[in-house]
Each structure stands twice: as C-alpha cells, then as structure tokens.
C-alpha cells in the first residue's frame, strides 16, 4: 500500500493523495494535486509568498511541457520505426530467429497490432524488426 503524500508545511489532510501507483514517481497530475492541497491547507496568517507560488507554477509548467515533449517524441519514434519497417517490404534480409540461428528471406509484409508491429519473411510471421541484421 503506497504511503500518502503530504503537502510540505501543511497539516496532514484526510484526503491526502497517494503517489502514482504505476511508477512510484510524482507526475504532473500529482504535482498539481500537491499544489492545490498546499493552497487549501496553508496557514491564513502565513500564506504562500508570491515568489514561491510563481516558482511552483513555473516548475509545474516545465514538468507539463517535458511530459508532453516525451509523449510526442515517443509517437515520433514509433512512426519512424513503422516507416522503416514498411520500407523493408520487397527487400532480401538476414534476421535472427528466436532460437538464435540466422535466417534470410524476402520481407513480404508488415503487420500492425496493439503490441507493435512485426514482419513476415518468407511466410514466417512475427519477426520483430529489431531482429533484422542485414538488408540487401
């Protein structure tokens, strides 16, 4: 069971947000929840200073942009890998089989699924593009 995250300098809240369960790291949603929790639970006699609040907002904005950039980069990598795989159609290739032996053949087509994409080489389906060792 994850440990509840408490806002620094704020009293323990009954509805404290747990860490992201998938990675154990704080994401942009967790960061925003912490910021809102800090604002809700701050001492009215000693509110967060403007500079500190602006710094936290700048950190949140940076985190959000880095997260968006990472997602865009991942989509771009998938598109490039798919294009490279499609470009192999009709080419003679050498590849490694799951048992570690080498084989060669003609790339007939590329199959796309939720798990990624695979090549069919000389009727053998399910060859991962990363197993190709040579293209002729």
Where do the domains of the chain lie? 89-135
Q: Give the number of C-alpha atoms closer than 13 A to the C-alpha of residue 24, restricted to the C-beta side.
A: 2
Q: For residue range 54-65, what is the model confidence (pLDDT) as tens digits?
A: 787 788 788 888
Per-chain mean pLDDT for the chain = 79
pLDDT on residue 44: 73
Q: Would you say 122 and 108 are in contact if contact means Cβ atoms under 8 Å apart?
A: yes
Q: For residue range 41-57, what is the model confidence (pLDDT) as tens digits?
A: 777 777 767 677 778 77
pLDDT on residue 90: 95
Which residue did the predictor score with more confidence, 9 or 38?
38
Q: Which CATH architecture does the domain made up of 89-135 adopt?
A: Roll (2.30)
User: Long-range contact list for 26-32, CB < 8 A, 24+ apart?
Assistant: 27/67, 28/60, 28/63, 28/64, 28/67, 30/5, 31/59, 31/60, 31/63, 32/60
Mean pLDDT, rounded, for 116-136: 93
Q: For residue range 97-117, what is the model confidence (pLDDT) as tens digits?
A: 999 999 999 999 999 988 889
Q: For residue range 5-27, what is the model confidence (pLDDT) as tens digits?
A: 444 444 444 444 444 455 556 67
**Three-class SS string for 39-77?**
HHHCCCCCCCCHHHHHHHHHHHHHHHHHHHHHHHHHHHH
CA distance linking residue 95 with residue 19, whole number of Å: 43
């Amino acid at each position: 069971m994850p440990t509840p995250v408490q806002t620094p300098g704020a009293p323990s809240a009954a509805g404290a947000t747990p860490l992201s369960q998938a990675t154990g790291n704080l994401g942009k949603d967790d960061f925003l929840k912490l910021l809102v929790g800090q604002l809700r639970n701050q001492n009215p006699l000693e509110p967060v200073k403007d500079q500190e609040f602006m710094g936290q907002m700048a950190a949140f904005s940076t985190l959000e942009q880095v997260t968006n950039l990472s997602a865009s980069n991942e989509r771009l990598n998938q598109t490039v890998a798919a294009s490279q795989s499609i470009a192999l159609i009709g080419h003679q290739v050498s590849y490694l089989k799951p048992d570690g032996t080498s084989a060669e053949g003609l790339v007939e087509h590329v199959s796309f699924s939720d798990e990624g994409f695979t090549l069919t080489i000389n009727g053998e389906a399910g060859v991962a593009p990363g197993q190709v060792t040579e293209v002729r």
